[in-house]
Amino acid sequence: MVEIRRPEAMERISSREMAEKFIEEQMTLIKEQVGDKKVLLALSGGVDSSVVAALLIKAIGKQLICVHVNHGLLRKGEPEQVIEVFKNQMDANLIYRDCTDRFLDKLAGITDPEEKRMIIGNEFIEVFAEEARKLDGVDFLAQGTIWPDILESEDGIKAHHNAGGLPEDLDFELVEPVRILFKDEVRMVGEALGLPSGMVYRQPFPGPGLGVRCLGAITRDRLEAVRESDAILREEFAKHGLAEKVWQYFTIVPDFKSTGIKDGKRTYDWPVIVRAVNTKDAMSATVENIPFELMQHLVDRITHEVPGVSRVLYDFTPKPTGTIEWE
């Protein structure tokens, strides 16, 4: 492990030129560290792992093996975007595993949010470990650790131990090329590497994904209602210039129904809850003031386009007292 620390006096990367210089330096360091060996990376499609992937592809090409695990709880279009950007455009060595059924079967009937998180996390590691064991001659594991992660767990992070909680037989040396960067710097580097801005400026998305937004026991039909309503919200926020302005915005589908009326007939369907918040550090948050007309338009689209949904609610609760997610 090459121990890299952010020098006290390191200037913040704030221009394309600085980002390009950083990329050149890191390419040299990566090549020095890994030589002709193979490197494995769990590529979620989030900002950090995507930037690490793009950097490593530029430095060592096919020596990098990316594994994209689709746990079935990703947003609409996400797995397709990962395949399009990394496999089709960057010609990466990408292993794609669609494990939707496996995850949803494990989660069937589980209502406790923490238990849901644990199942998703453990299963994820299990799938990744299976892929790692199939490969020969992989000595390195790349991770999208960034500087705030290190500051937050200063005494916890000791090179070998944060290998994503992998089983002990998988003993990799870590490659962490963005570990000295803050998030805004990672984004600059991502742009300089040619990643699409939708990927680089993506809002935060929790590891358990839509699983904690499909409240209670996850069912496929309600999960689809979360995914479809989320896609509509994202589309409308982008159209109205809110996508870059609002820190995090998403939809939630609870596990209860209400009476409604559609095409003159009585319905008994789910509501969709809209959440849109702003924060600096996610410790506290305020609610975005979505214009009433936009809210009406969202109600119209969601209730007409998403099967099984008859109402839209808007969560006005700041954090505290509510958390940002509902579970």
Binding residues for ATP: 44-50
CB of 279 to ligand XMP, least distance (A): 8
Residue 117 beta carbon to ligand XMP: minimum distance, rounded to whole angstroms: 5
8 Å CB contact between 287 and 316: yes
The CB-of-116 to ligand XMP minimum distance in angstroms stands at 9
**Is the CB of 187 or the CB of 303 nearer to ligand XMP?**
187
Contact (CB, 8 A) for 125 and 99? no
Identity at 252, one-letter amino acid code = I
Length of the chain: 327
What the block records as the tokens of 104 is: 């949803």
Cβ-Cβ contacts under 8 Å for 79 (sequence gap 6 or more):
45, 68, 70, 96, 98
Residue among 316, 311, 248 at smallest CA distance from 281: 248
Least distance in Å: CB of 227 to ligand XMP? 16
Binding site members? 44-50
| Minimum distance of ligand XMP from residue 225's CB (angstroms) | 19
Site of interaction with ligand XMP (CB under 6 A) = 117, 204, 206-208, 248, 282, 319, 323-325
10/282 with CB nearer ligand XMP: 282
Which residue's CB is nearer to ligand XMP, number 97 or number 117?
117
- Smaller CB separation from ligand XMP, 311 or 319: 319
Nearer to ligand XMP, 116 or 179 (CB): 116
Q: Are 222 and 255 in contact (CB under 8 A)?
A: yes
Distance in Å, CB of 148 to ligand XMP, minimum: 13
Q: Pick between residue 82 and residue 285 the one whose CB is nearest to ligand XMP.
A: 285
Shortest distance, position 75 Cβ to ligand XMP, whole Å = 12
Residue number with CB closer to ligand XMP (38 or 117): 117
